[in-house]
Structure 1
Amino acid sequence: MQVLTVLYPEPTDRAAFAEYYRSTHLPLCAQLPGVQDITYALDVCEPGEGPYYAIFRATFADEAAMGAALASPEGRAVEADVPNYASGGAIVIPHAAESFPLG
């Protein structure tokens, strides 16, 4: 499995970030070809108490699928949209992941 993790430092306006992120950016992410799962968290830390405000995670079958998704028109639209809400920037971490069986 290939994972795209995005860490968002504290934005200028948390409410504006959350509104735009949920109503505009996440629907764009959902259009990525081959995306299998999307999870996210906002308000990860209280203002001034941690380095990140939000975390995003999208999973793909493999590295090739993620690469194709990010290179697609939908992937370019997702990337171009980031400055519209992420005033604190974004740290993008593509990586492989393995599952650990429980029980």
Structure 2
Amino acid sequence: MAKLMALYKKPADKQAFDSYYLAHHVPIAKKIPGLRSYEISSGPVASPTGESPFHLVALLSFDSLAAIQQGMSSPEGAAAAADLANFAQAGADLLIFDTKEV
């Protein structure tokens, strides 16, 4: 299984971010080909030492890194990437990685 993790930095208007993210961005992103599951954080995002610079974490699962690349290269993936400018003005860090159980 491979993951795409999006770490969204704290926006100026959290309520506007949440409203747009759930009503507009999630439906766009859920159309990405190869997407197996889509999870988001619930409540504040903290670090072991307290507060973090992040407002929301999204974890998207795919079968492989190649599936992530194919999905993000599709028109649906391009639409999801382009949509970031509509709500993530504070910025977002995107990480892509393979996983294995240990």
Q: By the TM > 0.5 criterion, same fold?
A: yes
**Among candidates 73, 78, 81, match of residue 80 of structure 2:** 78
TM-score relative to the length of structure 1: 0.89
Higher strand share: 2
Count of aligned pairs? 97
- 1:50 CA displacement: 1.9
Q: 1:30 is matched by which residue type in structure 2?
A: K
After TM superposition, give the deviation of residue 99 of structure 1 in Å.
2.8
Q: Which residue of 2 aligns with 1:98?
A: 100
Deviations 1:42-92 (A, max 9, x none): 5325xxx32111100100001111110000000000000001011211100
**1:34-53 alignment, distance < 5 Å:** 34-42=34-42, 43-45=44-46, 49-53=51-55
One-letter code aligned to 1:3 = K
The residue type equivalent to 2:65 in the other structure is E
Query: Following TM superposition, where does structure 1 have runs of at least 4 consecutive aligned residues deviating by more than 4 angstroms?
Result: none
Task: State the partner residue of 2:22.
Answer: 22
Unaligned runs of 5+ in 1: none
Structure 2 segments unaligned to the other structure (5+ residues): none
Q: CA RMSD in A?
A: 1.1
Identity of aligned residues (%): 32
Structure 2 length as normaliser, TM-score?
0.90
